[in-house]
């Protein structure tokens, strides 16, 4: 536009409304746009298309006032308003809240709520047919057509509601062949029309009832139903020993929520391993739930996002990202296995889905239920001080008893040289299999051996990109890094000293345990359950089926086996290396090890036959082993709390980590030091570091860490923002903020 014409244009039209639009980009915040002439100003939350540096982008009309001082010529017009239900005020607030809490740009959080912009594309349309004007007129005036054509006209106006339909559907409804339709189209009675293919989400059947609940279950279920029926926000911790039937109890809360016409969301830590859970949902409600996880295809993703936004999805089970779906009326969020670290997202916007679930529930006036047999210290503390209410199921369902747990002292009865299973464990497995029961060996390590070493010079194979040893995977004949995916062949000679045939695997992974088991229990039918042997949900579901059908005698698995499986014929569980998780300086290692091993142990003895758990340990006196043996988890957690309280460690203080990383080690050091020099201080604020981060080299980036610890009554976010603003960080350096890190 020339200057003169622009001037004329602005004089002719009154000032057009300006709105803020948040774009799903990691930018500072919302941008101002103008409502063009002839467009109704879109409401808050509307999804709109706007130009951004020559591209069209989808954004959301955001809260707050546009800047009136911005000159008119700097403003661009909103191009289009999309036919999608506007984002609710509560979800907009949630996006802003998560951004503020995690110190992330709101646009980065909006990106998650839009599930990448592709979720907003209209559903793919398919070609179908509808009545033409001539067709309708023929029907209404009783025009002359053949009886078959008459049937088609009637079916389309009647049974098919006058809507466009696929040829196959019309033919079936009218009882004619599709050839008839083509003829009618040629005669002008039908015309082509696109059918928007909205996937149907079958509504859960609320007339069905669950199993007859036990007494404790009834009490808990009633309390939860009442909480949901009351409406409004509240958090409940549903604890209870493994196998106590917590799932059936919270499904009652889901039923109540659906009966009130509100949507229900269940978060599971690993949805790919949840075949048994899905079966139970279907048994309870007659239909499978809608699902949301990272492996969903793009079409399914789009349909599900829309289904949620349009309220057609009533119950959804998902991974942590489901928390950002556009539920118009969310009445309940259940976080199952709330202690699981899989709920923490470590990349991009770093957040803990359990904590954010509580926030979203509050903003939606919804109930929130946190479920675990081994609740996190965070949640226990909240329950203790009355912020959360708690319900507990102290007994296993159906009279099953908890397994007995014993340690096998590796100093007293060590395995034979070069072996990893000690004689008492071998005997227990033999006995179980001999009785026709199942046994399980647990080792939280994939692959064959965690370390490959040269017997001649002592050289160890390490990842070129990470501070990590390469793990031998014998089946694939490769050494792999479990952090960056680097892989290389197993070298025939030592790369350092050249000695031939000198490279030796050190220590066990599940593959090696499986090899030993094959020698020790040659007649047992064995199954390895690890993420690389069971890729994808179908394989995991098939494994679970085979185990339940007693086609397997011995299960050998990594942490996959700790998930909520119910294997009624499993009576003996052996933990190959119970000390494994305790190495390293992480303050939370003990808590995590107790949770993991207790969950693994909880797979044993779920039906009539009692279960037995054997922990191979070099240090059976360790409080972790003692807690598992005595079963006194509450006592263990109380002792943990006592250790953390005085130093204001979480949950008694707040912690945030700053991870400084660069491909250039000196640069990473430099910026970490600069941050250290500018470290905030004052009452109740403490900065630790810089120090090498737990993985000092990761994917080729050198990492340094600073920790800031503040008292519970101090907000850490403003301190972080101010701190970062004082240090100039070059583009080659990344500073990743992690508020409430899971390890410290």
User: Binders of ligand ADP among 681-710, rule CB under 6 A?
Assistant: none
- Of 325, 356, 326, whose CA–CA distance to 338 is shortest? 356
Residue 484 annotated as part of some ligand binding site: yes
Least separation in angstroms between CB 718 and ligand ADP = 41
Among ligand ADP, Zn ion, none, partner that 463 touches (CB below 5 to 8 angstroms by kind): Zn ion
Kindly report whether the peptide bond that precedes residue 651 is cis, defined as omega within 30 degrees of 0.
Answer: yes
Judged by CB, which is closer to ligand ADP: 380, or 453? Answer: 380
For residue 535, the minimal CB distance to ligand ADP (Å) is 25
* 449 Cβ neighbours under 8 A, 6+ residues apart: 471, 472, 505, 506, 507, 508, 509, 512
- Which of 248, 252, 409, 640 contacts ligand ADP by CB under 6 A? 248
Q: Which of 406, 462, 456, 319 is nearest to 614 (CA)?
A: 406
**Site residues for ligand ADP, window 141-200 (CB under 6 A)?**
none
450 is written with which tokens?
């965690």
What is the rounded end-to-end Cα distance, in angstroms, of the chain?
59
Which residues are within 8 A (CB) of 616 and not within 5 positions of it... i.e. 6 or more apart? 407, 408, 410, 421, 422, 425, 574, 575, 576, 577, 578
Place of tokens 């939860």: 224
Q: Residue 245 or residue 581: which is nearer to ligand ADP going by CB?
A: 245
Binding partner of 566, given Zn ion, ligand ADP, none, CB within 5-8 angstroms per partner class: ligand ADP
Q: Which window, 208-216, 223-231, 624-632, 648-656, contacts ligand ADP (CB under 6 A)?
A: 208-216
Binding-site member from 566, 644, 705, 709 for ligand ADP (CB under 6 A): 566
Pick from 158, 162, 211, 261: which binds ligand ADP (CB under 6 A)? 211
Closest Cα partner for 554 from 430, 449, 447, 444? 430
403 interacts with ligand ADP by CB under 6 A? no
Instruction: Tell me: is residue 257 an annotated ligand-binding position.
Output: no
Q: What are phi and psi of 525, to 5 degrees?
A: -85, 120
Measured from the CB atom, is 235 or 466 closer to Zn ion? 466
Which of ligand ADP, Zn ion, none does residue 486 bind (CB under 5 to 8 Å by kind)? Zn ion
Q: How many helices (H) and strands (E) does the chain have?
A: 21, 31
Footprint (CB under 6 A) of ligand ADP, residues 261-280: none
Q: Any contact of residue 242 with ligand ADP (CB under 6 A)?
A: yes
The contact set with Zn ion (CB under 5 A) reads 463, 465-466, 481, 483-484, 486
Q: Per CB under 6 A, does 397 bind ligand ADP?
A: yes
Nearer Cβ to ligand ADP (244/444): 244
Question: Helices 377-384 and 633-644, interaxial angle, to 10°?
Answer: 90
How many residues sit in the footprint of ligand ADP (CB under 6 A)?
Answer: 16
Reported as half-sphere exposure (CB side, CA atoms, 13 A), residue 71 has a value of 4
Q: Which is nearer to ligand ADP, 165 or 225 (CB)?
A: 225
Question: Using the rule CB under 6 A, is 564 a contact of ligand ADP?
Answer: yes
As measured in angstroms, the least distance from the Cβ of 461 to Zn ion is 12
What does 481 interact with, of Zn ion, ligand ADP, none (CB < 5 to 8 A by kind)? Zn ion
Does residue 243 interact with ligand ADP by CB under 6 A?
yes
From the list ligand ADP, Zn ion, none, pick the one residue 242 interacts with, judged by a Cβ distance below 5 to 8 Å according to partner type.
ligand ADP
Give the list of residues 6+ apart from residue 229 with CB closer than 8 angstroms, or none. Answer: 256, 260
CB of 676 vs ligand ADP, minimal distance in Å: 46
Three-class DSSP category at 721: helix
Q: Identify which range of 151-159, 240-248, 518-526, 630-638 contacts ligand ADP by CB under 6 A.
A: 240-248
Q: Binding of ligand ADP at residue 217 (CB under 6 A)?
A: yes
Specify whether the CB–CB gap between 708 and 685 falls below 8 A. Answer: yes
Q: Which is nearer to ligand ADP, 217 or 533 (CB)?
A: 217
**Residue number with CB closer to ligand ADP (217 or 390):** 217
The residue sitting closest to ligand ADP, measured at its beta carbon, is 245
Spatial CB neighbours of 541, under 8 Å, sequence gap ≥ 6 = 275
Q: Tokens 């239900």 belong to which residue? A: 85
Q: Which stretch binds ligand ADP (CB under 6 A): 235-243, 512-520, 679-687, 726-734?
A: 235-243
The alpha carbon torsion through 58, 62, 65, 71 (nearest 10 deg) reads -10
Q: Using the 8-state DSSP alphabet, how is residue 422 labeled?
A: -
One residue of 153, 213, 316, 391 binding ligand ADP per CB under 6 A: 213
* Pairing state between β 404-409 and 612-617: parallel
Q: CA–CA separation, 533 vs 169, rounded Å?
A: 42
Report how far Cα 369 is from the mean position of its chain's Cα atoms: 16
List alpha helices for 329-462, DSSP H.
353-363, 377-384, 423-434
User: With contact defined as beta carbons under 8 Å apart, do 472 and 447 qualify?
Assistant: yes
Is 454 known to sit in a ligand binding site? yes
- Residue 247 binding ligand ADP, by CB under 6 A: yes
Task: Pick the closer one to ligand ADP by CB: 24 or 568.
Answer: 568
- Shortest CB 469 distance to Zn ion, Å: 10
* 481 marked ligand binding residue: yes
Q: Quick check: 379 and 237 in contact, CB under 8 A?
A: yes
Q: Does 569 bind ligand ADP (CB under 6 A)?
A: no
Q: Judged by CB under 6 A, which stretch of 238-246, 288-296, 451-459, 682-690 contacts ligand ADP?
A: 238-246
Among 245, 318, 653, 741, binds ligand ADP (CB under 6 A): 245
Closest C-alpha among 396, 333, 389, 397 to residue 359: 333
Taking CB under 6 A as the criterion, the residue among 45, 59, 86, 214 binding ligand ADP is 214
**581 binding partner (options ligand ADP, Zn ion, none; Cβ < 5 to 8 Å by kind):** none
User: Please, is 376 exposed, middle or buried when counting C-beta atoms within 10 Å of its C-beta (0-12, 13-18, 19+)?
Assistant: buried
**Closer to Zn ion by Cβ: residue 487 or 727:** 487
Give the one entry of Zn ion, ligand ADP, none that residue 661 binds, where binding means its C-beta sits below a cut-off of 5 to 8 angstroms depending on kind.
Answer: none
- Sheet with strand 570-575: strands edge to edge: 404-409, 612-617, 570-575, 438-442, 554-557, 526-529
Spatial distance between the Cα atoms of 652 and 619, rounded to a whole number of angstroms: 29
Q: Three-state SS string across 133-161, please?
A: HHHHHHHHHCCCCCHHHHHHHHHHHCCCC
Binding-site residues from annotation: 454, 457, 463, 466, 481, 484, 494, 497
Detail the residues annotated as belonging to a binding site for Zn(2+): 454, 457, 463, 466, 481, 484, 494, 497
Binding footprint of ligand ADP on the chain (CB under 6 A) = 211-214, 217, 240, 242-248, 397, 564, 566
């Amino acid at each position: 536009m020339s200057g003169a014409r622009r001037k004329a244009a602005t004089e002719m039209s009154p000032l057009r409304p300006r709105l803020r639009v948040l774009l799903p980009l990691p930018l500072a915040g919302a941008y101002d746009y103008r409502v063009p002439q002839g467009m109704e100003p879109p409401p808050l939350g509307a999804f709109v298309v706007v130009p951004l540096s020559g591209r069209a982008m989808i954004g959301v009309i955001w809260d707050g006032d546009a800047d009136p001082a911005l000159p008119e010529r700097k403003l661009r017009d909103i191009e289009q308003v999309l036919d999608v239900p506007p984002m609710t005020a509560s979800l907009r607030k949630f996006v802003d809240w998560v951004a503020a809490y995690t110190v992330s740009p709101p646009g980065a959080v909006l990106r998650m709520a839009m599930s990448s912009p592709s979720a907003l594309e209209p559903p793919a349309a398919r070609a179908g047919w509808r009545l033409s004007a001539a067709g309708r007129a023929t029907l209404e005036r009783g025009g002359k057509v053949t009886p078959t054509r008459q049937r088609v006209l009637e079916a389309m106006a009647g049974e098919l509601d006058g809507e466009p339909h696929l040829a196959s559907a019309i033919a079936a409804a009218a009882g004619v062949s599709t050839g008839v339709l083509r003829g009618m189209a040629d005669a002008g009675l039908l015309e082509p029309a696109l059918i928007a293919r909205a996937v149907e989400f079958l509504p859960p059947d609320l007339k069905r009832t669950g199993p007859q609940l036990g007494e404790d279950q009834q009490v808990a279920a009633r309390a939860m139903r009442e909480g949901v029926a009351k409406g409004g926000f509240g958090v409940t911790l549903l604890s209870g020993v493994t196998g106590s039937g917590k799932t059936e109890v919270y499904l009652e809360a889901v039923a109540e929520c659906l009966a009130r016409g509100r949507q229900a969301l269940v978060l599971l830590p690993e949805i790919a391993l949840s075949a048994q859970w899905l079966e139970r949902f279907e048994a309870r409600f007659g239909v499978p739930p809608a699902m949301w996880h990272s492996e969903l295809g793009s079409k399914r993703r789009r349909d599900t996002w829309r289904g949620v936004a349009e309220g057609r999805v009533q119950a959804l089970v998902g991974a942590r990202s489901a928390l950002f779906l556009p539920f118009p009326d969310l009445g309940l969020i259940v976080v199952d296995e709330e202690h699981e670290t899989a709920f923490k997202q470590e990349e991009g916007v770093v957040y803990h889905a359990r904590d954010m679930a509580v926030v979203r529930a509050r903003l939606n006036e919804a109930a929130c239920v946190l479920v675990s047999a081994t609740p996190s210290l965070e949640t226990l503390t909240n329950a203790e001080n009355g912020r959360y209410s708690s319900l507990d199921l102290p007994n296993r369902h159906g009279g099953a008893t908890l397994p007995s747990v014993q340690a096998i002292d590796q100093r007293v009865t060590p395995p034979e040289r070069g072996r990893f299973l000690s004689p008492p464990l071998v005997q227990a497995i033999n006995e179980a299999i001999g009785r026709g029961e199942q046994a399980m060996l647990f080792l939280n390590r994939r692959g064959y051996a965690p370390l490959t070493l040269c017997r001649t010079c002592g050289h160890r194979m390490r990842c070129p990109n990470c501070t990590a040893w390469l793990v031998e995977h014998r089946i694939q004949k490769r050494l792999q890094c479990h952090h960056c995916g680097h892989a290389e062949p197993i070298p025939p000679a030592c790369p350092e000293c050249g000695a031939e045939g000198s490279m030796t695997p050190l220590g066990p992974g599940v593959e090696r345990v499986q090899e030993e088991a094959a020698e020790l229990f040659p007649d047992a039918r064995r199954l390895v359950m690890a993420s690389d042997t069971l890729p994808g949900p179908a394989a995991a579901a098939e494994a679970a089926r085979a185990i339940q059908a007693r086609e397997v005698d011995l299960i050998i698995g990594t942490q996959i086996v700790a998930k909520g499986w119910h294997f009624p014929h499993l009576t003996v569980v052996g933990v190959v290396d119970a000390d494994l998780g305790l190495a390293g300086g992480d303050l939370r290692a003990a808590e995590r090890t107790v949770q993991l091993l207790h969950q693994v142990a909880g797979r044993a003895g779920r039906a009539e036959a009692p279960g037995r758990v054997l922990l191979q340990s070099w240090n059976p006196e360790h409080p972790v082993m003692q807690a598992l043996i005595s079963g006194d988890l509450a006592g263990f957690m109380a002792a943990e709390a006592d250790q953390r309280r005085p130093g204001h460690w979480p949950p008694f203080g707040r912690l945030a980590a700053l991870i400084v990383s660069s491909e250039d080690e000196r640069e990473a050091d430099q910026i970490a030091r600069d941050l250290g020099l500018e470290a905030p201080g004052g009452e109740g604020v403490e900065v630790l570091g810089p120090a090498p981060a737990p993985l000092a080299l990761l994917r080729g980036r050198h990492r340094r860490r600073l920790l800031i610890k503040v008292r519970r009554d101090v907000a850490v976010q403003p301190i972080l923002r101010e701190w970062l603003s004082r240090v100039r960080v070059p583009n080659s350096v990344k500073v990743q903020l992690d508020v409430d890190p899971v390890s410290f």
